[in-house]
Structure 1
Amino acid sequence: MSEPMATSPQLPQHLPTRIADVGGIPIHRAIPQRALRKVGAWCFLDHAGPADPAPPGMQVGPHPHIGLQTFTWMIRGEVLHRDSLGSEQIIRPGQVNLMTAGRGIAHSEESQEPWHIHATQLWIALPDSHRFCEPRFQHYPDLPQTRVGDFNATVLAGEALGLTSPAEVHSPLMGVDLHAHAADATAQATAVMPLRKDFEHAVLALSGSVRVNGEDLPTEQLLYVPQGAESIAITCAPDSRLIVIGGEPMDEAILIWWNFVARTSQEVHEAREQWEAHLRGDAVQPSRFGNPVASPLAPTHAPSLDGMLLRASK
């Protein structure tokens, strides 16, 4: 079967991911990396699983965030979210959890039986106009869906394919999950995915065998598509899955350290000290990070800043 054609004035770039560990689960970390700090306002992209870890699965104790939104898309498994606002929510397959840290929040994440997990977690850097907003947690059990070629498409964030996600974001961006589902279960699934020419985009294969613009896209690689592309051509083996993210390039320089998205090293130093004071119980009240998280897991201390060179980057 011939592959569909896509248009792009610049060559996309294949970038390696790296292996990291989150709560005992190995993950592929695609963003940030030296060659690509963010895609639009998307400044972090982890792919967890598919994995069937031993009990108790992923266990991430209470930890803080500032200046960002955490965006979790669950494909397989269930995870219990708790936070310092008092939220307690299980996320199930096909659902999104969106936590807006703003000036400061803390949360924990715990796998639920039977422990298997397949998910992506992304961060969205809040623009300067919103990065000190009040923290908020939102759960989205229903997301808009459509078909593009031989794929079931779920619009996770922003506008794409004529649909708008209900997820509340504060920058021009998009996110779409594509799941190969051709009429003939033995045939390759194909589609041409339209893109916004004013957005930069990235594609990450989540499972199966994926080809984009005629080239293989292994799960350990990220495909970056610069501004100007009108579409990408996708060919996948049956039941393969990929995620496409994009956004208007963010012209604000950001500094990512540990779980914080800031603008200056002074902000990072202050947030770190305030979190440690919060854990000691001697924080100025009310604490920047709210009430203690109602989790049985031990909270996570911030790493040392000794010898760290903190520099904002675009």
Structure 2
Amino acid sequence: MSNSELNVTIIEARDVPLGGVRALNVRRTLPHRNRTTVGAWCFIDHYGPDNTESGGMLVPPHPHTGLQTVSWLFDGEIEHRDSVGSHQYVKPGELNLMTAGYGISHSEVSTTKTQWLHGVQLWTVLPEASRNVSPHFEHHVARHTTIDGADVLVFVGELAGASTDAITYSPLLGAEIRIPAHTSITIPTSRSFEHGILVDSGDVWLNGTHIPRYALGVVEPGLIDIRVATGDTPARIIFLGGEPLGESIVMWWNFIGRSHEDIVNMREQWHRDVVDAGSAASPYSRFGVVAGYPGSVLPAPATPIARLKPR
């Protein structure tokens, strides 16, 4: 199947404030009403560049289930703490990968060294067979390679001869690609993968289709390679890929389950064991305790009234 026979779907970003007094505004492309996942990638938040004098990132301890979080920065530094005892800073060129599995809680705060904050926060769905694995955390330095003169930093999976040690539970790929102006590159792909290109900067054409800045361009499985071209300015993209998930999920707030009852139960456990327990919260509960965070945890929204349907 040739590139010209495959359509490119464009998902425009929508602005979402991550609440609180020091709200961080993000541009979200996934999930979208017309598409839940690209491979197992299910959540794409793109933020900055923001001057941290106006707030920065301050996300109190909050829970996750059934997913992995991928933190990737273009600029700045973030301090991560979680309930399995991890305490790790992440900077550009490095990956923080947290596997929530059965349940975890964590905080994310931009550090005092950060003047400008710019990056992406990504989630992947854990497939049914792996969604209740024990929570754990990894930190890796990305692997560098080049494609047709473009610089590539691979942070998940394998691309153009560079591979990472990051543990994933389905076939996945994640990379930052910096492309000079007036350049066309051909990215080798897996025929079985869906792919998405998030445009951070520059004018970008994906298989001949212009992808607006901050939008996500998606192509379906079947390609041997993907063509990306730039205009008058250099471009930076996030290149994502993965085999189609093939499962329906329910994603609500910070939880991924398979039914309405899953989500209601997770929310009740977070409030009963952590939020309402306060200083008496047990590190042995489902979501544990984030040690060393100097503040309160984040309450969940009200229990959903309408029945949540798998998508």
TM above 0.5, yes or no, is: yes
1:83 aligns with 2:72: no
Q: Matches of 1:34 and 1:207 in 2, distance apart? A: 25
Residues 215-234 of structure 1: pairs in structure 2 closer than 5 A: 215-234=209-228
Residue 122 of structure 1 is matched in structure 2 by 122
Residues 177-188 of structure 1: pairs in structure 2 closer than 5 A: 177-181=176-180, 187-188=181-182
Q: Matches of 2:283 and 2:6 in 1, distance apart? A: 52
**Residues 8 and 229 of structure 1 are in contact (CA less than 8 Å); yes or no, is this contact kept in structure 2?**
no
Cα displacement (A) at 1:56: 4.2
SS in 1 for 2:264: helix
Cα displacement (A) at 1:283: 6.4
TM-score by length of 1: 0.91
Residue 250 of structure 1 is matched in structure 2 by 245
- Out of 277, 294, 297, which is 1:296 matched to? 294
State the Cα deviation string for residues 156-200 of structure 1 (Å, max 9, x = none): 21122122221110101111210124xxxxx52321112211111
Q: Matches of 1:235 and 1:188 in 2, distance apart? A: 7
Residue 104 of structure 2 is matched in structure 1 by 105
Residue 56 of structure 2 is matched in structure 1 by 57
- Out of 19, 22, 26, which is 2:18 matched to? 22
- Paired amino acid for 1:98: L
SS in 1 for 2:157: strand
**Residues 196 and 229 of structure 1 are in contact (CA less than 8 Å); yes or no, is this contact kept in structure 2?**
yes
Q: Matches of 1:215 and 1:127 in 2, distance apart? A: 32
Cα displacement (A) at 1:241: 0.3
SS in 2 for 1:289: coil
- Paired amino acid for 1:87: S
Compared with structure 1, are the counterparts of its residues 8 and 195 closer, same or farther at alpha carbon in structure 2 (3 Å cutoff)?
farther
Q: Matches of 2:70 and 2:282 in 1, distance apart? A: 29
Q: Matches of 2:305 and 2:262 in 1, distance apart? A: 17
When the two chains are superposed, the root-mean-square deviation of aligned CA atoms in Å is 1.8
Cα displacement (A) at 1:7: 2.2
**Residues 24 and 55 of structure 2 are in contact (CA less than 8 Å); yes or no, is this contact kept in structure 1?**
no
Residues 1-314 of structure 1: pairs in structure 2 closer than 5 A: 7-22=3-18, 24-113=23-112, 114-140=114-140, 142-181=141-180, 187-236=181-230, 237-277=232-272, 278-281=274-277, 286-313=284-311
Cα displacement (A) at 1:239: 3.7
- Paired amino acid for 1:21: P
Q: Matches of 2:307 and 2:12 in 1, distance apart? A: 24
- Paired amino acid for 2:200: L
Cα displacement (A) at 1:149: 1.1
**Residues 67 and 132 of structure 1 are in contact (CA less than 8 Å); yes or no, is this contact kept in structure 2?**
yes
Residue 3 of structure 1 is matched in structure 2 by none
Compared with structure 1, are the counterparts of its residues 197 and 289 closer, same or farther at alpha carbon in structure 2 (3 Å cutoff)?
same
Select between 278-287 and 255-264 the one with higher mean Cα deviation.
Answer: 278-287
- Paired amino acid for 1:225: V
**Residues 8 and 230 of structure 1 are in contact (CA less than 8 Å); yes or no, is this contact kept in structure 2?**
no
Q: Which residues of structure 2 form unaligned runs of 5+?
A: none
TM-score by length of 2: 0.92
Q: Matches of 1:244 and 1:115 in 2, distance apart? A: 26
Cα displacement (A) at 1:8: 4.6
Q: Which residues of structure 1 form unaligned runs of 5+?
A: 1-5, 182-186
**Residues 201 and 214 of structure 2 are in contact (CA less than 8 Å); yes or no, is this contact kept in structure 1?**
no
Select between 81-90 and 157-166 the one with higher mean Cα deviation.
Answer: 157-166
Cα displacement (A) at 1:303: 0.4
SS in 2 for 1:54: helix
State the Cα deviation string for residues 201-242 of structure 1 (Å, max 9, x = none): 111101222222233212232111011122222122444200
Query: How many positions carry a matched residue from both structures?
Result: 302
